[in-house]
């Protein structure tokens, strides 16, 4: 039965859990590394200083996929703390493996719905940058409600970003880029530092992601959007 047909479905989710096979090393990493780097919804509101053992600017990435770009960013910016959130278990396994291999101490990971992580675990005004790279575009009109960038999401996120913090989006799907621009331009409490309606050039600190490469092979363009919380 599809989600649409389920009579008692209460929430519209931005993801469908993919069945992707887990490699033995990803499964092992989930088993052995999650205790060290993993965070769970049941922990409730986090004390971030205790979680990382230090105070540092926090970067949160929603939907990191296989996580290679998140690991590269965490390696390049040891002065920042990173929390990755992903529901796709093989991706979480791969990230855990790579974090352990690289000996990184500035990365933690949730295997959970990011909406719930924001709601239950991340303190108000705690995030310096929220990264959302190549989120599922949900191209069919009947699925547009599943797109994670919506007015309610912008408002939920605003409470978690510190004033001056940045919501950085990227997509290879032009209609979603336009939707992001429309939603975020209308969202109270944000401004586009590049000027109204302007897309950002891909910043040097953002590595090319797996889905970006896939989009490029299909001939898609790339749109980066930055919005700053101003109030």
Ligand X SMILES: C[S@@+](CC[C@H](N)C(=O)[O-])C[C@H]1O[C@@H](n2cnc3c(N)ncnc32)[C@H](O)[C@@H]1O
Helical packing angle, 89-102 and 68-76, nearest 10°: 30
Going by C-alpha positions, the residue among 113, 75, 95, 112 that lies closest to residue 30 is 95
Which of 3, 47, 68, 136 does the annotation list as catalytic? 136
As measured in angstroms, the least distance from the Cβ of 14 to ligand X is 4
Count each helix (H run) and each strand (E run) in the chain, helices first.
8, 8
DSSP three-state, residue 172: coil
Q: Is 68 a catalytic site residue? A: no
CA distance linking residue 202 with residue 188, whole number of Å:
25
Please give the residue ranges that form the binding site for ligand X (CB under 6 A). Answer: 14-15, 62-65, 85-88, 91, 113-115, 133-136, 148, 209-212
Three-state SS at 138? coil
* Contact (Cβ atoms closer than 8 angstroms) between residue 125 and residue 189: no
The least distance separating ligand X from the CB of residue 201, rounded to whole angstroms, comes to 18
68 is in an annotated binding site: no
Is residue 172 a known part of a binding site?
Answer: yes
Which residue lies nearest ligand X, judged by its C-beta? 63
CB-nearer residue toward ligand X: 191 or 220: 220
11 is in an annotated binding site: no
Annotated binding-site positions for S-adenosyl-L-methionine: 61, 86, 113, 136
Annotated binding-site positions for substrate: 140, 172
Active site residues: 136
Annotated binding-site positions: 61, 86, 113, 136, 140, 172
């Amino acid at each position: 039965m599809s989600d649409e047909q389920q009579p008692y479905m209460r929430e519209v989710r931005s993801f469908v859990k993919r069945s992707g096979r887990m490699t033995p090393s990803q499964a092992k990493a989930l088993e052995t590394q999650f205790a060290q780097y993993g965070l769970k919804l049941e922990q409730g509101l986090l004390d971030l200083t205790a979680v990382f053992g230090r105070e540092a600017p926090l970067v949160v990435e929603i939907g990191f996929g296989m996580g290679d770009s998140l690991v590269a960013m965490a390696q390049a910016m040891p002065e920042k703390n990173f929390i990755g959130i992903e529901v796709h278990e093989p991706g979480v396994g791969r990230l855990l493996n790579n974090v352990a291999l690289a000996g990184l101490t500035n990365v933690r990971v949730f295997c959970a719905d990011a909406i719930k992580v924001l709601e239950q675990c991340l303190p108000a005004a705690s995030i310096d940058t929220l990264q959302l790279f190549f989120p599922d575009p949900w191209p069919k009109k009947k699925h547009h409600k599943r797109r994670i960038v919506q007015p309610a999401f912008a408002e939920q996120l605003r409470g978690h970003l510190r004033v001056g913090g940045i919501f950085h989006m990227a997509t290879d799907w032009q209609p979603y880029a336009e939707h992001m621009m429309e939603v975020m331009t209308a969202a109270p409490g944000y401004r586009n530092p590049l000027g109204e309606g302007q897309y950002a050039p891909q910043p040097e600190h953002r590595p090319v992601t797996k889905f970006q490469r896939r989009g490029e092979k299909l001939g898609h363009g790339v749109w980066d959007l930055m919005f700053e919380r101003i109030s």
